[in-house]
Structure 1
Amino acid sequence: MNTRKIRNICLCILVAVIALIWCFPIIYMVVSSFKPESQVGVFGFVFQPTLENYQTVITPAFFDYLKNSLIVTVLTVIFSTLLAVPAGYGLAFATMKKPDNMYFWFVSTTFLPAIAVITPVYLIFNALHLVDSIWALVILYTGAGVPMMVWLVTNYFREIPKELVEAATVDGANKIQTFFKIMIPLIKNGVVSSALLVFILTWNEFFFAITITYSESATLPVYMSKWMTQQGYFWGKMCASGTLIVLIPIILGFFAQKSLVKGLTSGSVKG
């Protein structure tokens, strides 16, 4: 066996070990969800499986929270994409003097911690009678999703040679036609990966959800927190809830993995 094969084998083993370490918390969460509540705190993979935790967690209330999560997340992704993609196109091919200043403003808003704005945000939504409303979460999450998408999508647009834009203009295409017929097809993988990241962040968000909602519009992370009670933490139920919550992002990631990998590496355009 030559040196190259040995190196490749070692590299594969290293990647497998890193992947196992990275995924171990999720694997152990799934395993623990099938343990009796009394055995969850005991480390080990040998036990008598039970569906008791899932039978307790999957109730009509769970589906209400699931519906809220789906509505909020899908609306957030749609609004963020509709706002961020044109903004990224404008920043990448802008005729303004200093487009980088506007770009930095979008990026810098992602640095703001949620705890710093929760009090004025709550007071504003309370005055607008939007507390415990799905639209309150959609507005908040869209405000958080747009800067991140602008950050990513702008870089994808900047990878497109400006000669393509000039050629389209010479051929008689206006800016709208250039945007939809040339730019969007070229960065579609980047848009998909950015939208998926917004989906995951929105789906998992807890701080605003627990603060702005009570029961009518609460999402799945809030439902999961209900198993943290004064009597103690019901880890088995929390693991079962967590397992159900991560299923949809994992399924989406599986079907969108090709676009996700391409979008997160270098976009659709090489050059």
Structure 2
Amino acid sequence: MAFWRRNTTFVQGIERSDAIRTIVAWGVALVVSFPFLYLATSGFKTEVEAPKMPPAFVPVPSSVASVPLTYTPTLENYKLILTGDFMPYFANSATAALVSTLLVLLLAIPAAYALTQPQTSGKRDVLFFLISTRFLPAVGVIIPIFLATRFLGLLDNVLALIILYTAMNLPIAVWMLRSFFQDLPKDVLEAARMDGAGTTQELILIALPMIKNGVLATAFLAIVFAWNEFLLALTLTTTKGATVPLYMISFMSAQGLWYAKMSAAGTLAALPVVILGWLGQKWLVRGLSMGAVK
């Protein structure tokens, strides 16, 4: 009987600790997601309701809108943005982010794999050179970048952003993929070499399938960095090649700051990345945690 009581107490203690962890996890999740929740709800408000403090989060019909912390939802802001000139900006962002990410992977995968091979000399120097390109803030080199872009006739062109985003994300991608390649079991690669596999076959048929989660995680980060980039797009584009971040600042004018419309635009801008991260969270977690546990 005493043994049964001790066992019951132990099980109850585990269940209680699991419940506490769950509550804490949900609390942290709500705190982290609060800015996006505030942004999303503000997009459904009028310009009068959006800047009010404390903010209202509960949508209700207009008949009970006087209840505290409630608001009457409206789709006018989203209609205005979607029927306006938002889609060209969105298309430019999508093109620059996706094409540059594809180029990053095409260049980073063979480079990272080569930097894990014992016969490659000067690996430390190459890795240091790659990461050193990230030491200087973009604003420190924006003038020569602008002059070079103007000389090449690429001002206000998405192609300029694709080239620069590729160069911006390439060092990080090489470092990440190299760490994934280093964690591969050496026995498998040696067995492939003994079976007559060349370096290209070894990379494509054996190494890449084993680190596919790491490749997806790298691609996701490259897309996010390119999607959110602002300074280069602001300096090198005006209308034809402008991206979503530039569309966002169009709501800041001398007449005031249009909170509701900016919130709706911000929600639409963040939604693709949020959906992409939600759909691929399983592979992202696996990829970013590769090699963490031996």
TM-score normalised by the shorter chain: which range applies? over 0.9
State the alpha-carbon separation in 1 of the partners of residues 143 and 91 from structure 2: 27
State the alpha-carbon separation in 1 of the partners of residues 279 and 186 from structure 2: 32
State the AA in 2 paired with 1:146: L
Deviation at 1:171, TM superposition (A): 0.6
Aligned match of 2:51: 41
State the alpha-carbon separation in 1 of the partners of residues 263 and 245 from structure 2: 12
Aligned match of 1:15: 25
Aligned match of 2:231: 207
Of 5-14 and 175-184, more deviation after overlay is shown by 5-14
Deviation at 1:80, TM superposition (A): 0.5
**What SS does the aligned partner of 1:131 have?**
coil
Cα deviation 1:44-101 (Å, max 9, x = unaligned): 2211111121122223411111111111111111100100111110111241344122
The 8 Å contact of residues 34 and 49 in structure 1, kept in 2 or not, is answered as yes
Aligned match of 1:176: 200
Task: State which of 8, 31, 49 in structure 1 corresponds to 2:41.
Answer: 31
Of 76-85 and 55-64, more deviation after overlay is shown by 55-64
The 8 Å contact of residues 40 and 264 in structure 2, kept in 1 or not, is answered as yes
Aligned match of 2:60: none
TM-score between the two structures when normalised by the length of structure 1 = 0.95
Q: Where do 4+ consecutive residues of structure 1 move more than 3 Å?
A: none
Task: State which of 77, 87, 94 in structure 2 corresponds to 1:70.
Answer: 94
State the AA in 2 paired with 1:245: A
Of 209-218 and 38-47, more deviation after overlay is shown by 38-47
1:147 paired to 2:171: yes
Deviation at 1:270, TM superposition (A): 6.7
**What SS does the aligned partner of 1:39 have?**
coil
State the alpha-carbon separation in 1 of the partners of residues 99 and 56 from structure 2: 41
Task: Give unpaired runs (5+ residues) of structure 2.
Answer: 1-8, 58-69
State the AA in 2 paired with 1:252: L
State the alpha-carbon separation in 1 of the partners of residues 208 and 121 from structure 2: 25
Of 144-153 and 101-110, more deviation after overlay is shown by 101-110
Q: What percent identity do the matched residue pairs reach?
A: 38
Deviation at 1:4, TM superposition (A): 1.9
Aligned match of 2:62: none
The 8 Å contact of residues 44 and 260 in structure 2, kept in 1 or not, is answered as yes
State the AA in 2 paired with 1:6: R
The 8 Å contact of residues 189 and 263 in structure 1, kept in 2 or not, is answered as yes
Aligned match of 2:243: 219
Cα deviation 1:224-255 (Å, max 9, x = unaligned): 11001111111111100010011111121122
What RMSD over aligned residues (CA atoms) do the two structures have, in Å? 1.5
1:3 paired to 2:27: no
Task: State which of 147, 159, 183 in structure 2 corresponds to 1:159.
Answer: 183
Task: State which of 59, 63, 78 in structure 2 corresponds to 1:54.
Answer: 78
Aligned length: 270
The 8 Å contact of residues 192 and 263 in structure 1, kept in 2 or not, is answered as yes
State the alpha-carbon separation in 1 of the partners of residues 73 and 234 from structure 2: 32
Task: State which of 119, 124, 137 in structure 1 corresponds to 2:143.
Answer: 119
Aligned match of 1:236: 260
The 8 Å contact of residues 114 and 120 in structure 2, kept in 1 or not, is answered as no
- Greater Cα radius of gyration, structure 1 or 2: 2
Task: State which of 105, 111, 114 in structure 1 corresponds to 2:129.
Answer: 105
The 8 Å contact of residues 159 and 270 in structure 1, kept in 2 or not, is answered as no
Cα deviation 1:148-178 (Å, max 9, x = unaligned): 1111100000001223222111111111110
